[in-house]
C-alpha cells in the first residue's frame, strides 16, 4: 500500500513538474512573440519615416527655392522622427547623416588618412539657405544623403530585446537634453525645440508598442503624460527657452520613470553602457559609467589602496629626472589641478589643463595624441621639457623605496611594474570629479540657491550663445553624449596675443603636428569648463587672463571675427551678438560649475 501511494505521489509530482515546464515555455514563447510583434511595429514605423524622408529629399530637385525649403523641412521632420531608432540601431549612419558642415578627417592614427566632405541634413540646410544658392552643391548633397537613406532602408533588419528598448529610450532622453535643445544640429533654422518634440512622439509610439510588457498600465500612462507635458513646454521661442527648468522638471522625472519601467518589465541588462542603467539625473556622479572609458577593469581589486598609492606618486618629485617636478607641480589641487600660469615655464608652449573630469573621455593632451590616462602619463614622463626620464629609471627608483616596493607587489598580482605605476596614478586622477557644484545640486533639486542671473547664464550657454554645441553637458567638454565615444577637436582661431589691431593666429599647429594633415592645422581638443573659475589663464596658449576676454573672443566670432581668416574654422556662428548683460550671465553660470571642497577631498 505504501509503495502504491509513493508511486502515485511520484506520478503526481512528475505531472506537476511537466505542467510547470510547459507553462514556463509558453510564457517564454508568449514574451518572445510579444517582443517580436513590438519590434515589427517599430520596424514598420522606421520604414515609414525613412520612406517619407527619401521621398521629400528626392522632391527637392528642379523646384523653386520656396518649394525646396518646404520639401527639406518635411524630409528633416521625418529624419528627426526616425532619430531615436536610427541613432540607436545604426550609430555610424546617424552620425554621418546628422554631421555638421565641417570637413571630416578619418584614419589618422592608422595612417590611412581620408579627408571627406560632410553630407546629411545639416549640410543641406546650410547650403539651401546660403545666398546665392549653389545648386550644384545642393543637388550633390541631397543625392548622396538620399542614397544613404535608401541603403539603410534596403539593409534594414531590427532585432530588439527589452533591454535594447530601454537603452534606446534613455539615449534619446539624454540626447534631447544635451544636444537636442541646444541648437547642435539645426544650424540655420533653429528648430531644435520643435524637432525634439518630434522625437518625443516616436518615444511614445515605441512604448505603446510594448504595452503588453507592463504589469502597471498606470506607469505607461505616467510616462506618456510626462512626455506630452515636455512637448507642450517645447512650444517656445529658442532664445528664451528655459532649459534649466526643462531638464530639472521634465527630463529628470522621465529618467526616473524609465527606471521604474525597467523594473516593471523586469529587464536584465547584460552590461553597462556609457550612461548608467539606473540613471535618474544627468548631473550626478552616478550618471556616467567611468569604467566605460578605461580598458583596465581587471585592475579594480583593492582599488582604493591603488588610488591612495596613485595620490602618493602624483605628488612625488622622484618621478622626474632631476627630482624637481611631480604631477602636482603643474596640477595644483587648489587651482582645480592647474597651475595658474600662461605656461608652466619658458620651455612649455601650452597652458596646463585641468585634470578634473578627464576620466570621461578617450583622448588626452590638447592635441588628443594619447588614448588613455595611462598612455598620457608615458607622454609626460618622456617629454624632455617635463619629467625627461624613462619608465625604467622610474621603476628602479621606486623599487629602491621599500614602501613603494611592498605596495606595488601586494596591490598588483603581476610583474608589469611599469603599467602598475601608471595605473595607480591614473586611478587617482579618475577620482578628481565630484559633480558637486552649486549648479549640480540645484538642477538635481537638492537646493534652490541659483540666482536668476545664473539660470539665465545656463540657458544662454545651452541656447542662444551655442556654447553647449561644443561643450556638451553634463561634463561640459567635447565628448559627445549620449554615447561618449567621440572627443571633438575644434579650430576656433585662437590668436597668439591679445593684439586686436594686427591679430595673428597662434603658431601652435595642434593636431597637425602629429600626422601632418593639412585640414587639422590649429585643431585642439575641447576642454571642460567645469571649475573654469579656478583655471585661468585660458586657451591652449593661455592668451586670455579673464573669462570676460574669452567671451569677447567668442562674441566676435572667434579668429574669423578678429580678422584671422581660415576655411576650417569650426565655430557654428559668425558672431553671437550677445549683450554685456548676457555675457555676464554666462560667466556667472560658469562659476557655478566650481566643485566645492574638491581640494579638501583630494
Residue 273 lies in a domain: yes
Asked if residue 279 has a cis previous peptide bond (ω within 30° of 0), the answer is: no
In this structure, are 362 and 486 located in the same domain? no
Grid cell at residue 95? 552620425
d(CA 578, CA 561): 14
Q: What is the pLDDT of residue 1?
A: 47
Residue 443 lies in a domain: no
For the chain (602 residues), the mean pLDDT of every run of 10, in chain order, is 53 55 48 78 98 98 96 98 98 96 90 91 96 96 98 95 98 98 92 97 98 97 98 97 98 98 98 96 96 78 94 97 97 97 94 96 95 95 96 96 95 92 96 96 98 98 97 97 95 97 96 95 97 98 98 97 93 93 98 84 66
Which phi and psi (to 5°) does residue 323 adopt?
60, 30
Task: Name, in order, each residue with C-beta under 8 angstroms of 152's C-beta and a sequence gap of 6 or more.
Answer: 50, 86, 90, 93
In this structure, are 308 and 391 located in the same domain? yes
Which phi and psi (to 5°) does residue 505 adopt?
-65, 145
Domain boundary among 114, 130, 160: 160
Residue with cell 579656478: 534
Residue 3 lies in a domain: no
In this structure, are 48 and 101 located in the same domain? yes
Grid cell at residue 506? 597662434
d(CA 422, CA 358): 15
Q: What is the pLDDT of residue 255?
A: 98
Long-range CB pairs of 362-368 (<8 Å, 24+ gap) are 362/293, 362/479, 362/485, 362/487, 363/487, 363/525, 365/525, 366/510, 366/524, 366/525, 366/527, 366/540, 367/489, 367/510, 367/511, 367/513, 367/514, 367/523, 367/524, 367/525, 368/487, 368/489, 368/511, 368/525
Residue 11 lies in a domain: no
Residue with cell 505521489: 9
In this structure, are 156 and 43 located in the same domain? yes
Residue 57 lies in a domain: yes
Alpha helices in 434-519 (DSSP H): 438-443, 452-461, 512-515
Q: Indicate the number of domains in the chain.
A: 4
In this structure, are 251 and 338 located in the same domain? no
In this structure, are 470 and 399 located in the same domain? no
d(CA 450, CA 273): 32
Q: What is the pLDDT of residue 500?
A: 93
Residue 253 lies in a domain: yes
The residue range of the domain holding 106 is 21-160
Residues facing 338 on adjacent strands: 332
User: For residue 114, which of 525, 515, 523 has the smallest C-alpha distance?
Assistant: 515
Q: What is the pLDDT of residue 333?
A: 95
Residues facing 476 on adjacent strands: none
Residue 387 sits in a domain of what CATH number?
Answer: 1.10.760.10
Grid cell at residue 194? 520643435
Domain boundary among 381, 396, 429: 429
Contact 60, 71 (CB under 8 A): yes
DSSP per-residue letters across 42-92: HHHHHHHHHHHHHHHHHT-TT--HHHHHHHHHHHHHHHHHHHHHHHHH-HH
Where does residue 183 fall: left (phi above 0), alpha (psi -120 to 50 degrees), or beta otherwise? left
Q: What is the SS3 assignment for 552?
A: helix
Q: What is the pLDDT of residue 30?
A: 52
Contact 106, 114 (CB under 8 A): yes
In this structure, are 179 and 106 located in the same domain? no
Residue with cell 541603403: 151
Contact 502, 508 (CB under 8 A): no
Residue 289 lies in a domain: no
d(CA 347, CA 480): 33
Domain boundary among 141, 160, 179: 160
Distances (CA, A) of 49 to 82, 95, 233, 523: 6, 17, 25, 37
Residue 510 lies in a domain: yes
d(CA 191, CA 151): 27
Q: What is the pLDDT of residue 575?
A: 92
Which phi and psi (to 5°) does residue 105 adopt?
-115, 125
In this structure, are 141 and 182 located in the same domain? no
Q: What is the pLDDT of residue 34?
A: 66
Q: What is the pTM of this model?
A: 0.93
Instruction: Quickly count helices (H) and strands (E) in the chain.
Output: 23, 4
In this structure, are 75 and 199 located in the same domain? no
In this structure, are 414 and 497 located in the same domain? no
d(CA 539, CA 541): 5
Contact 145, 124 (CB under 8 A): yes
Which helix H or strand E contains 397, and what residues bound it? helix 391-399
* Dihedral sign from CA coordinates of 540, 543, 549, 554: negative
In this structure, are 327 and 264 located in the same domain? no
Grid cell at residue 349? 608652449
End-to-end CA distance of the chain: 77
In this structure, are 399 and 513 located in the same domain? no
Amino acid at each position: 500500500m505504501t509503495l502504491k501511494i509513493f508511486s502515485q505521489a511520484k506520478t503526481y509530482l512528475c505531472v506537476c513538474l511537466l505542467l510547470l515546464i510547459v507553462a514556463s515555455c509558453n510564457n517564454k514563447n508568449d514574451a518572445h512573440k510579444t517582443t517580436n510583434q513590438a519590434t515589427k511595429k517599430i520596424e514598420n514605423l522606421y520604414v515609414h519615416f525613412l520612406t517619407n524622408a527619401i521621398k521629400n529629399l528626392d522632391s527637392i530637385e528642379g523646384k523653386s527655392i520656396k518649394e525646396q525649403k518646404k520639401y527639406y523641412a518635411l524630409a528633416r521632420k521625418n529624419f528627426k522622427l526616425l532619430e531615436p531608432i536610427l541613432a540607436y540601431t545604426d550609430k555610424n549612419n546617424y552620425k554621418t547623416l546628422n554631421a555638421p558642415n565641417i570637413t571630416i578627417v578619418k584614419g589618422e592614427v592608422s595612417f590611412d588618412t581620408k579627408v571627406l566632405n560632410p553630407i546629411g541634413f545639416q549640410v543641406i540646410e546650410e547650403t539651401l539657405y546660403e545666398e546665392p544658392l549653389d545648386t550644384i552643391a545642393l543637388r550633390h548633397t541631397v543625392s548622396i544623403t538620399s542614397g544613404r537613406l535608401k541603403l539603410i532602408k534596403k539593409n534594414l533588419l531590427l532585432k530588439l530585446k527589452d533591454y535594447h528598448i530601454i537603452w534606446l529610450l534613455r539615449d534619446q532622453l539624454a540626447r534631447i537634453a544635451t544636444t537636442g535643445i541646444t541648437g547642435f544640429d539645426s544650424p540655420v533654422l533653429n528648430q531644435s525645440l520643435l524637432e525634439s518634440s518630434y522625437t518625443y512622439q516616436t518615444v511614445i509610439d515605441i512604448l505603446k508598442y510594448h504595452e503588453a510588457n507592463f504589469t502597471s498600465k498606470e506607469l505607461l500612462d505616467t510616462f506618456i503624460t510626462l512626455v506630452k507635458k515636455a512637448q507642450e513646454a517645447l512650444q517656445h521661442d529658442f532664445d528664451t527657452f528655459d532649459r534649466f527648468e526643462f531638464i530639472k522638471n521634465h527630463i529628470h522625472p522621465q529618467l526616473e520613470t524609465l527606471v521604474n519601467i525597467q523594473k516593471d518589465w523586469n529587464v536584465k541588462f547584460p552590461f553597462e553602457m556609457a550612461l548608467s542603467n539606473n540613471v535618474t539625473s544627468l548631473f550626478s556622479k552616478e550618471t556616467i559609467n567611468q569604467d566605460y572609458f578605461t580598458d583596465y577593469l581587471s585592475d579594480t581589486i583593492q582599488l582604493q589602496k591603488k588610488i591612495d598609492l596613485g595620490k602618493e606618486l602624483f605628488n612625488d618629485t622622484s618621478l622626474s629626472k632631476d627630482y624637481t617636478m611631480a604631477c602636482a607641480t603643474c596640477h595644483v589641487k587648489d587651482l582645480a589641478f592647474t597651475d595658474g600660469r600662461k605656461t608652466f615655464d619658458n620651455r612649455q608652449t601650452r597652458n596646463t589643463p585641468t585634470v578634473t573630469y578627464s576620466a570621461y573621455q578617450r583622448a588626452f593632451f590638447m592635441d588628443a595624441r594619447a588614448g588613455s590616462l595611462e598612455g598620457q602619463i608615458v607622454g609626460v614622463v618622456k617629454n624632455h621639457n617635463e619629467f625627461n626620464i624613462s619608465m625604467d629609471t622610474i621603476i628602479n627608483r621606486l623599487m629602491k623605496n621599500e614602501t613603494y616596493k611592498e605596495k606595488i607587489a601586494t596591490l598588483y598580482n603581476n610583474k608589469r611594474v611599469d603599467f602598475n605605476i601608471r595605473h595607480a596614478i591614473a586611478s587617482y586622477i579618475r577620482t578628481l570629479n565630484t559633480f558637486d557644484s552649486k549648479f549640480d545640486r540645484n538642477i538635481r533639486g537638492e537646493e534652490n540657491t541659483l540666482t536668476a542671473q545664473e539660470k539665465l547664464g545656463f540657458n544662454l550657454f545651452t541656447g542662444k550663445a551655442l556654447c553647449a554645441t561644443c561643450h556638451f553637458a553634463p561634463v561640459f567638454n567635447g565628448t559627445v553624449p549620449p554615447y561618449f565615444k567621440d572627443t571633438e577637436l575644434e579650430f576656433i582661431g585662437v590668436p597668439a596675443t591679445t593684439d586686436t589691431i594686427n591679430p595673428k593666429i597662434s603658431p601652435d599647429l595642434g593636431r597637425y603636428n602629429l600626422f601632418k594633415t593639412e585640414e587639422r592645422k590649429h585643431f585642439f581638443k575641447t576642454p571642460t569648463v567645469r571649475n573654469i573659475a579656478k583655471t585661468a589663464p585660458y586657451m591652449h596658449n593661455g592668451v586670455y587672463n579673464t573669462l570676460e576676454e574669452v567671451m569677447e573672443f567668442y562674441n566676435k566670432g572667434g579668429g574669423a571675427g578678429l580678422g584671422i581668416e581660415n576655411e576650417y574654422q569650426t565655430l557654428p556662428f559668425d558672431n553671437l551678438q550677445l549683450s554685456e548683460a548676457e555675457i555676464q550671465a554666462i560667466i556667472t553660470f560658469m562659476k557655478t560649475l566650481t566643485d566645492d571642497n574638491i581640494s579638501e577631498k583630494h
